[in-house]
Structure 1
Amino acid sequence: MNEQTTKNSPRKLAWFKRWARSFFPRPSSSNEVAEMLRNAQSASIIDPGVLHIMEGALKVSDLQAREIMIPRSQMVGLEHDMTLDEILDIVIKSQHSRFPVVGESSDDIAGILLAKELLLLLSKGKETFDLSSLLRPATIIPESKRLDVLLKEFREHRYHMAIVVDEYGGVSGLLTIEDILEEIVGEIEDETDEEEKDPIQKVSDNCYSVDAITDIEIFNEYFDVGLSDDECDTVGGLVIQAFGRLPEINEQIDIFGFNIMVTAADRRKIITVNVRKNPL
């Protein structure tokens, strides 16, 4: 090969690459990448399961914490002054592995308790119980945190839960590494997961058990009404607003054509209510 041919080779290669790109342009957005992946699946280059995971990974890169977090109203947490028996009762019923522990106020997160830390106490005896000594530091993130960045931090720092706060520092909800992974691969279930029940259950004629965290939109659709969700998002919030305080169990109130009685609650929130339609 002579010297002139050697000099021309890189130019020819560069020209060929430009020519090829004119027929096979590079993707300029995640939507175009997703379309290429779907075409690859249609051509049997990748299987549907792989396509699903790849599309999930692309979706995560565009999502923020606020979009998939477990909202504050649905968080299962502990209070700093609870007894060991009270804590064990919540741990057993919820079957979660990590719990945020609330301090003096609902926005004061004292730390995270790992359920496995309680196992050693059961052998030592309740006399040695000191909740504060078992807590791990809570990771606090803003609502705007991107999920792909958070997943990387979860892996690098080896923590599995983050508390999400709003612009004022108030707790909005929480996120776990499992929540992000489920966005990528789909629902992850284990042997302890129970089948989700409907948030509104008919108990008898004109009597319905309603979870307090039921969205007002779902309530409206079920009962064919048009309650406003401008100030409250859930049925529980609507009931608390109507009472002007946190009601106690068995307290009832007539609002918007319904009789609503609180059937389960704790010191911070309503859990379930019974709903009856008032006669016209």
Structure 2
Amino acid sequence: CNQLARRNRAKGTHALGRRQRTAQAVLRLLRAERAGKPGQQVDDMAALVDGAGDEPAFAPEESSMIERVLSVGAHDVRSIMVPRGDMTWLDVADTPEVVVRKFATGHSRLPLCAGDPANVLGVLHFKDVLPLLQNPGPIDLVELAREPRYVMETMPVLKVLDELRASRDHMLIVVDEHGVCEGLVTPMDVLTAVAGDLPEHLEDNAESLRLSDGSWLLDGRLAVDEAARLLEAPALADDYPDATLAGCLLRAGGRIPETGEAISWRDWRFEVTRRDGLRIDQVRASLVLDAVQQ
């Protein structure tokens, strides 16, 4: 019995030591990633987490969490951001009724744009707008907007965490090298990356299905150049600057279409088959008859 007790205590001490070594290795990697230095300990940490044939020091869910934390360090903000075409945003010309409807989608803060989501002027909080919504008349949204905080689309996710801590709005506007908005990121997006599966790139994550009549069911998040490739219509990728099919359809239609409504774009008819709030979730793309006969 004494030998068994000593053996169990030794196993517990060994497992605890491996947990401590893994935690220290993770912290070293995170510090290296924040400093812009490539991490060299990933394989070693994977071996520590797996146990290398020993009795596991981590429960399966703990191992999965550690692996996701490590994988986050290898990605930039584009892998977790809400792309521009999927953003819910306010326009400087929106009426109070439209403002209320957009905030009713479940957001407490929204980017304020000047006619186009590529041009973000600021961030509006619902609590700042609410008192004025109770009075009749127009609202000066620009005056109420807070200064946005911008990050480059190539910024590593771990550095984005520091920026989010420094942001009073808990929202970062992701821009390209020209200062054009490509999307936004919030603490919830980072949490999803760590607590769940890290989203793949849009074109890998979005679904597409060819139907028997020749039409296509396409995810609104599908990259527009990928949609153009599937439809064998390369000109579609040149019309609008948006990254997603949904964003381009919003421009082509000039407004948010209802479910069942169709938008004509070049030689194609795009019927909205499903919406998620204000976001175009799925469309059915059909080549119009006149174009087929030509």
TM-score (norm 2): 0.61
For 1:40 and 1:152, how far apart are their aligned partners in 2?
A: 34
Aligned to 1:190: none
Is 1:125–2:118 an aligned residue pair? no
- Report the CA distance shift for 1:31/1:216 in structure 2 as closer, same or farther (over 3 A): farther
| Partner-residue secondary structure (3-state), 1:163 | strand
Cα RMSD (Å): 4.3
Show the 5 A alignment for 1:1-280: 28-39=40-51, 43-92=55-104, 94-103=105-114, 106-122=117-133, 124-127=134-137, 129-186=139-196, 210=218, 212-215=220-223, 231=237, 234-235=244-245, 246-247=252-253, 252=264, 255=267, 259-261=268-270, 271=280, 274-276=284-286
Q: What stretches of structure 2 of length at least 5 have no aligned partner? A: 1-20, 26-39, 198-205, 274-278
- Quote the offset at 1:40 in angstroms: 7.8
Separation of aligned partners in 2, 1:214 and 1:109: 23
Q: Percent identity?
A: 24
1:199, 1:211 within 8 Å by CA — same for their partners in 2? Answer: yes
Q: Is the 8 A contact 1:121 1:128 kept in 2?
A: no
Equivalent pair of 1:100/1:111 in contact (CA under 8 Å) = yes
How far the C-alpha of 1:251 sits from its partner, in A, is 5.4
Q: Deviations over 1:187-246 (max 9, x none)?
A: 7xxxxxxxxxx977999x88777554434688699xx86555994664457879xxxx83
Q: Residues 139 and 161 of structure 1 are in contact (CA less than 8 Å); yes or no, is this contact kept in structure 2? A: yes
CA distance in 1, matches of 2:44, 2:195: 20
Q: CA deviation at 1:104?
A: 5.9
Instruction: Kindly tell me the number of residue pairs found equivalent between the two proteins.
Output: 231
Distance 1:119 1:216, change over 3 A: closer
1:140, 1:34 → 2: CA distance? 34
Bigger radius of gyration among the two = 1
5+ residue gaps, structure 1? 1-23, 188-197, 265-269
